[in-house]
Structure 1
């Protein structure tokens, strides 16, 4: 629906196909992601490179995904556009999430910012 998925090595990569992750779609995106997270056997990477706007509902959906992944798995973000990055910075959630600039950086394990090993 709103979410692409792919697997690389032992990581499930989820990519919202939306320009806006806001109240109108956040619950749907979270509900689409949770079963995928539940059945994933490895780490989770949320690629937000297509999202240019996010509100608190979108942030809440991402927090819900991270909590569902649990502490035993790595939950990372990558590809934050300037507007989305600003939301994470203003809410100080950039200190909670492990954030990489690119997908390649995230998959190599070289987080650019955030809390290493953050998982809920």
Structure 2
């Protein structure tokens, strides 16, 4: 599962570098995600390249979010229309903050820290 990571001031961004997040790569996604995010930063999952998400892929996103623990947040950014539809139909939009672009997600992550 091709994932890359970049650190920003107020969040770690994990980029999904594949067009599909499905049963064929869900287990590898979970393993790679956990290896990349072993710190304590909040995470933004950049899904702008993902065009297809099935229930296994969705389950893997939820699993890594739960594994991050209660003191960390995870937001989703750049959802393609088909992926966004899955998120809305499964009501995952009530679990995750969803942003149209990575830039929007980074701005929101920085906003609570602006007064510091």
TM-score bracket, shorter-length normalisation: 0.7 to 0.9
> What does residue 23 of structure 1 align with?
23
Question: Aligned-pair distance for 1:20?
Answer: 0.7
CA RMSD of aligned residues (A): 1.3
The Cα offsets for residues 19-58 of structure 1, whole Å up to 9 and x where unpaired, read as: 0110001111111001222x22311110000000000000
* Pairing 1:92–2:77 present: no
Q: Hey, what does 1:66 align to over in structure 2? A: 65
Contact 1:10 1:41 in 2 (8 A): no
SS in 2 for 1:30: helix
Q: d(CA) in 1 for partners of 2:21 and 2:104?
A: 23
Shift of 1:65: 1.4
- Gapped regions of structure 1 (runs ≥ 5): 111-120
TM-score computed with the length of structure 2 as normaliser: 0.88
In the other structure, the counterpart of 1:75 is 74
**Counterpart position of 2:34:** 34
Shift of 1:102: 0.9
2: distance between equivalents of 1:78 and 1:108? 12
Q: Give runs of ≥4 in structure 1 deviating > 3 Å.
A: none
Tell me which structure has the larger Cα radius of gyration: 2
1:103 CA drift (Å): 0.9
Q: Report whether the alignment pairs 1:7 with 2:7.
A: yes
Count of residue correspondences: 109
Question: Is contact 1:15–1:48 with CA below 8 Å preserved after alignment?
Answer: yes
TM-score normalised by length of structure 1: 0.85
